[in-house]
Amino acid sequence: MTEMLLKYFREQQKQVETERIYNTQCPYCSMQCKMQLVEQTHVKRKTYKTIGTDNPTSQGRLCIKGMNAHQHPLHKDRIQYPLLKVNGEFVKISWKEALHYIKENVAEIQEKNGADALGVYGSASITNEEAYLLGKFARVALKTKYIDYNGRLCMSAAASAASKTFGMDRGFTNSLQEIPFTECIMLAGTNIAECQPTIMPYFEKAKENGAFIIAIDPRETATTKIADLHLKLKPGSDAALANGILKILIEENYLDERFLQERVNGFEEVIQYVASLEFNIIEEITGVPLEEMYQAARMFGQRETGMIFTARGVEQQTDGSAAVRNFLNILLSVGKIGKPRCGYGAITGQGNGQGAREHGQKADQLPGYRSIENHEHRMYIADVWNIEEKDLPRKGVSAYEMIEKIHDGEIKGLFLMCSNPTVSNPNANFVKKAFEKLEFLVVADMFESETAKLANLILPASSYLEDEGTMTNVEGRVTLREASFPCGGEIKHDWEILCEIAKTLGKEEHFSFSSAEEIFNELRIASKGGIADYSGITYERLREEKGILWPCRSLTDKGTERLFETSFAHSDGKAMMVPVSNQAIVPKAKITEKYPLYLTTGRVMSHYLTGVQTRKSASLSARNFESFMEIHPLTAKKYEILNQELVQIESSYGKIVVRSKFSEGIRPDTVFVPFHWADSQNVNNLVSEKLDPACKMPGFKVSAVKISPSVKRSSY
């Protein structure tokens, strides 16, 4: 009888009484895969699952992160009410009290120290509407010049390189649909198989179709496994490797002379510089055999079509922008751009890494990819915002430079949205000390992150399930993220938070929005005529067309699938090549007797950024619950390291302790540590604060370290 009753109740629990479906997009990488959250009610219990839905980019695919994305917004630790720190502890307060607290502190700090005593630190994970509004909030509501965002640590080198080379920066010059049909692909410093897994089928299809794939990476990864040629270079030598390939292309006459003459400036200077370089020096710098460079150059030169893709491996260096420019030199020299199945792609890291850098979050930028120092641009945006041009602040400084100003006492208060800078920035020990000096820190986030713990006030922010808005994916395709899941507790949409604060500060006339769509309609006007022109895009069109590639300049414009078919975006219509040195202007770490190993950093498939979201997912944390150091077994033997042993890694900036993981696929002079963990496992404690002078990107990918067992073993 008991067994029958148990069976009955179990069957009852399995029966679905109600089912609700919420359309949304993945909160993680730049593929922005469309998905649905399925909520099922079984008696009094609710269960959730996530499924992929068809779209032009991921075509219904989801990776392991996407399938488990719902676990973090539904987590019990989600912040649902404003929290004020009182005597070192956070206590729940009302929104009215929170807004009053902000008003008082803003007034006090700015009256004593001026408008620029406040800063704003944004994110590339928020929507276009919120990125736009955050820039407007900083410059109109706070009247401060100090605003930048975490995308500075992600996309600034590629953005700078593309802008200087082509005259504009859009993630891909072509759509994803062209990849399977190109004949040669160069993957420079990108591990797409783990970082953007749903993009991999495009490259696998290209391989099936006969494409020759060249991977450039110090490690063997899931991505390098599909390559026909793996150039396993020393960390930080990408610019020199590109020079070696370029020298071969020139000497063996693979150049597209007509293309160079008609559509490119600066090539003669590049030829002269590259001719002065010696192959044996390049070979020594890179650690790549000359015959492998020849194979790469010949395959890319001989094939009719080709594409080059770069990511953080190339970009996160003190010459990252120059290194990317050198790969673009390769592309231009053989004329493989502006044509079918030919082009460049910067593999964006964050969900809105493209859109978030277009509409005003950057220190030197206004909406539409306009320059804040250009008088005409300033006049246009001031008119859209209904303010005087003279009241629009000038450019500020980059994200890390803002932190230096916090440390020096110039910035007294900070508004932080959806970012965790005390973990994500280089020289992380210094960054934490700087944040501890702030008189006033307001954080809008879903969780009590390592940075949020330092806040005076935490505001409950919305998740991808609740927050409608547009996102611009890796291609430059603007998509509409639907989001109708109800906000719990007193959670507000991120744009609502900004509007409420602005109103409290007396700027209601500039922030009287009632929906994300209203904000987007103002963004459309603000972007009109700019490089990133969204003026022809509407929510209605996005629902019908499932995404539009910008620029889209009118309601009848279908968007731009392929850039640069007839001209580049510089005023003369030509691309610009420049010679790139083998050596960075700002020196990178060199291995020495004291610090004999290179350290490079990156991602694992199951985690995202600093792990604040993914570490709240039981399914994802189970796959990688702690950090690790990937090391070659021969190197481990030399330093008496055992597999799966706790290891201390030390640089001149700090030390961490992680577990060793043997891999024969990494260079013996290099160790690898992922960056998804904090505190004593935070690899950014070891990274230099030196920045790329062209774009202010930190050099995450090249550090010099020493290693030893964390615990001394007894000898018997």
Per CATH, the architecture of 156-347 is what? 3-Layer(aba) Sandwich (3.40)
- Structure tokens that stand for 76 in this block: 């019990």
Q: Got the DSSP string for 603-631?
A: --TT--TTSTTGGG-HHHHHH--S-EEEE
Q: How far apart are CA 280 and CA 291, in angstroms?
A: 12
In CATH, what number does 597-709 get? Answer: 2.40.40.20
Contact indicator for 155, 124 with CB cutoff of 8 Å: yes
Architecture of the domain spanning 2-71 = Single Sheet (2.20)
C-alpha angle 483/486/488, rounded to 5°? 130
Are 692 and 321 in contact by the 8 Å Cβ rule? The answer is: yes
DSSP type of residue 175? -
Q: Which of 340, 305, 311 is nearest to 327 (CA)?
A: 311
Asked whether this chain's domains 95-154+352-468+486-514 and 597-709 adopt the same fold, the reply is no
Q: What is the pLDDT of residue 716?
A: 45
Q: CA 570 to CA 660: how far, in whole Å?
A: 49
Per-residue confidence (pLDDT) for residue 14, from 0 to 100 = 58
Kindly tell me if the per-residue pLDDT of 715 is higher than 60: no
Question: Phi first, then psi: what are they for 131, rounded to 5°?
Answer: -65, -45
Distance (Å, whole) CA 553 – CA 546:
17
DSSP-derived 3-state class of residue 452: helix
516 with 127: CB under 8 angstroms?
yes
Say whether pLDDT at 552 is over 80: yes
Asked if 601 and 674 count as a contact pair (C-beta separation under 8 A), the reply is yes
Model pLDDT, residue 5 = 57
CA–CA separation, 424 vs 514, rounded Å?
A: 33
Q: Using an 8 Å Cβ cutoff, are 698 and 439 in contact?
A: no
Residue 581 reports pLDDT greater than 60? yes
Per-residue pLDDT of 351-410, as tens digits, reads 999 999 999 999 999 999 999 999 999 999 999 999 999 999 999 999 999 999 999 999
Dig out the tokens for 383 from the structure: 């008119």
pLDDT digits (tens, 9 = 90+) for 42-92: 877 899 999 999 999 999 999 999 999 999 999 999 999 999 999 999 999
DSSP string computed for 555-585: TT----SSS-SS--SSTTS-EE-----SS-S
Q: Is there a contact between 182 and 342 (Cβ–Cβ < 8 Å)?
A: yes
Per-residue model confidence as pLDDT tens digits over 170-219: 999 999 999 999 999 999 999 999 999 999 999 999 999 999 999 999 99
Residue indicated by tokens 């992680």: 658
List the one residue out of 574, 608, 586 whose CA is nearest residue 677: 608
Confidence band for 686, pLDDT divided at 50, 70 and 90: very high
Whole-prediction pTM:
0.95
Residue 471 half-sphere exposure toward CB, CA atoms < 13 A: 29
- At residue 2, the pLDDT reads 66
Chain mean position to CA 514:
29
What are the b/e assignments for 608-618, b being 16+ CB within 10 Å?
A: bbbbbbbbbbe
Cα separation, 489 vs 80, in Å, equals 5
Domain boundaries, the chain: 2-71, 95-154+352-468+486-514, 156-347, 597-709
Residue tagged 């950014």 (tokens): 684
Residue 221 has which token pair?
């990864």
128 pLDDT more than 90: yes
38 DSSP β-pair partners? 21, 49
Question: Which of 608, 605, 606, 651 has its CA nearest to residue 420?
Answer: 608
**How many other CB atoms are there within 10 angstroms of residue 377's CB atom?**
20
pLDDT digits (tens, 9 = 90+) for 505-516: 999 999 999 999
Nearest to 28 by CA among 494, 370, 473: 473
Mean pLDDT, rounded, of the chain: 97
- Give every strand in the sheet of 18-25, ordered side by side: 18-25, 34-42, 45-52
Note the pLDDT tens digit of each residue in 444-471: 999 999 999 999 999 999 999 999 999 9
Say if residue 393 is preceded by a cis peptide, omega within 30 of 0: no
Q: What is the pLDDT of residue 434?
A: 99
Q: Phi and psi for 95 in degrees, rounded to 5?
A: -60, -35
C-alpha to C-alpha distance for 135 and 355, rounded to whole angstroms: 13
Q: What is the pLDDT of residue 16?
A: 65
The number of angstroms, rounded, from the C-alpha of 588 to the middle of its chain's C-alpha atoms is 22
Give me the pLDDT at residue 26, please: 97
Q: Spell out the SS3 assignment of 14-74.
A: HCCCEEEEEEEECCCCCCCCEEEEEEEEECCEEEEEEEECCCCCCCCCCCHHHHCHHHCCC
- Kindly state the average pLDDT of the residues 573-591: 97
Alpha-carbon distance of 290 to 374, in angstroms, equals 46
Per-residue pLDDT reduced to its tens digit, 2-45: 676 556 556 655 566 789 999 999 999 999 999 999 999 987 78
The pLDDT of residue 308 is above 80: yes
Q: What type of residue is 461?
A: A
- Rounded distance between C-alpha atoms, residue 136 and residue 131, angstroms: 9
Left (φ > 0), alpha (ψ -120 to 50) or beta: where does 564 sit? left
The CATH code for residues 95-154+352-468+486-514 is 3.40.50.740
C-alpha distances (whole Å) from 299 to each of 225, 293, 444 are: 18, 10, 50
